[in-house]
Amino acid sequence: MSELRRQLGSLIVCGFDNAVLPANLNSLLEQGSLGGIILFARNYVSSSKLTSLTKTISAVSNGRAFIAVDQEGGRVVRFDGDFPVFPSPLHFGKRNDLEGLLNGTSVTAKALRTHGVNLNLVPVCDLDPEDSAHVLHSRAFSHDVKIASDCAKAQVEVLKANNVISCAKHFPGLASATGDPHFQVSFSARTLEEFRKSDYEPFRAAIAAGVDMIMPTHLRAPALDESNIVTFSHKVLQDELRGHLGFTGLIISDDLQMLGALEGVSQIEAGKLALAAGCDLLIYANLQETIESLLDGLEACATADDKLRERISESYQRVVAFQNNNPQYFSA
């Protein structure tokens, strides 16, 4: 295996079916050529089987894998049954109930760590759209910028205190957007000033609290970039997220198998574009059957593109530095 292919693989976080780690993903983790695993309800049978699965992932990866989940509370939970679950973010935001949020986040974080999960893809930093038909309905804390920011900050702090990696999403915010990125590119007519004065604020609060990762979304916002969705926008990720907001942590894509990421491009092209824009980690939610062909395609793209190889190396070094500098997240 080439060093380029190994580095590429280490930037991918992928999902799979059922509750047993597939042999091909096991092999890639052993070789250090897969960054991590994202878990869904389809992977959860019981708390004991979840622990067995995560122990396998951690053991074969020498303790280096990101083991991720969306355990937001409310309608977005991947583990339930005998796993503790709590109300939605909006439940706490509507009541301005920071104490309840802190308790729910703490109990969830402790349960995740006990079961071997080291990355919870929260907080949801979008402002609440106040629309029951919106993709974010009940998933965001509040339409009020201060309440949303206070909740995001509190959630990051509790996750860090419990040695769980945090990820603020969905940058730059979907509150004003039409369309669900699971099925199409979302669109927002917000101005740059509006984004900076309102939507950015919960992300700013999360960054101030030390959030580890930020996830951009498959949003077309012409005021930010006339040509590219945010996931594929060097301008937004570098000038706005890293420049204007000063974020120095890891940028992790949303699922690149969502239709919002695949409008006019293949899964390979989506990965290439996300890397070129500045994403450090790429999520593919169900890749067990096609990961080798994806790696083949990305490796071919990078072999022919000096700038892409430089970006891959930059992200690889950033990910390795994060792992080395934060052993608390990767220890048993």
CA distance 168 to 67: 16
Q: Is the peptide bond before 91 cis (omega within 30 degrees of 0)?
A: no
Residue 254 appears among annotated catalytic residues: yes
- Round the CA-based radius of gyration of the chain to a whole number and report it: 18
CB 254 within 8 A of CB 217: yes
Pick the catalytic residue: 126, 199, 225, 254?
254
User: Exposed, middle or buried: residue 164 (CB in 10 Å: 0-12, 13-18, 19+)?
Assistant: buried
Residue 199 appears among annotated catalytic residues: no
Pick the catalytic residue: 91, 182, 234, 244?
182
CB 13 within 8 A of CB 252: yes
CB 232 within 8 A of CB 274: yes
Q: Which two tokens stand for residue 217?
A: 């979304």
SS3 at position 158: helix
Query: Torsion angle, CA of 267/268/270/273, rounded to 10 degrees?
Result: 180
Residues forming a β-bridge with 73: 76
Element (H, E) at 68: strand 66-69
CB 275 within 8 A of CB 5: no
Kindly write down the DSSP assignment for every residue of 254-320, as one continuous string: EETTSTTT-TTS-HHHHHHHHHHHT-SEEEESS-TTTHHHHHHHHHHHHHT-HHHHHHHHHHHHHHH
Q: Which of 147, 291, 135 is nearest to 217 (CA)?
A: 135
Residues with catalytic roles? 182, 254
